[in-house]
Amino acid sequence: MSNKNESEVNPEWFQDKAAKNQWPEFDSRVKVVCNLQPWLDWTVNEGLISDVLNLRDLAISILEKTGTELDSHKMESLSKIMVGDENMHLRRKAAIALWRHGNKDENVRARLNEALSDDELREEVGGLLNEVTN
């Protein structure tokens, strides 16, 4: 990634925070970097294809939180994670990111309904699905 110093963090910083379960600090910095182009580029060039679970998680989190419209390559990459990642939690998080960026198709909805059983995601997913019924 070019210009990693834009927010005084890099992917390894996030990986360290995840390993130490320092999620509030991790999440607050995601909100700082999620609209920066070098980080958005990193998500598809490195993050979503990383062998490291925490880096894939970071990439999904950045794409979920960004206010930037996602191009077809990013949406397709998230769809691949939602369908085929080895980690169920990441498949569910990818569905949340897709939903937030306008993909409300049957496959995404099915994955979100499945995520209602995930204690960590239940409230967020319930809120997303509730938006449709109201």
Domain membership of residue 1 (yes or no) is no
pLDDT tens-digit series, residues 81-124: 999 999 999 999 999 999 999 999 999 999 999 999 888 888 88
Mean pLDDT, residues 10-30: 90
Query: Which residue range forms the structural domain that includes residue 125?
Result: 9-133
pLDDT at 7 over 70: no
C-alpha separations of 20 from 93, 110, 125 in Å: 20, 32, 25
Specify the pLDDT at position 9. Answer: 85
pTM score over 0.75: yes
Look at residue 29 and tell me whether its pLDDT is greater than 50. yes
Query: Is residue 116 one of the residues assigned to a domain?
Result: yes
What pLDDT sits at residue 95? 97
Residue 123 lies in a domain: yes
The tokens of 103 are what?
Answer: 């993909």
Tens digit of each residue's pLDDT (9 = 90 or more) over 30-58: 999 999 999 999 999 999 999 999 999 99
Q: Is the pLDDT of residue 1 over 70?
A: no
Pair 74, 43: CB distance under 8 Å: yes
pLDDT in the model for residue 2: 45
Residue 7, burial from CB neighbour count under 10 angstroms (0-12, 13-18, 19+): middle
Position 61 confidence tier, pLDDT thresholds 50, 70, 90: very high
In a domain, 125, yes or no: yes
Name the domain count of the chain: 1
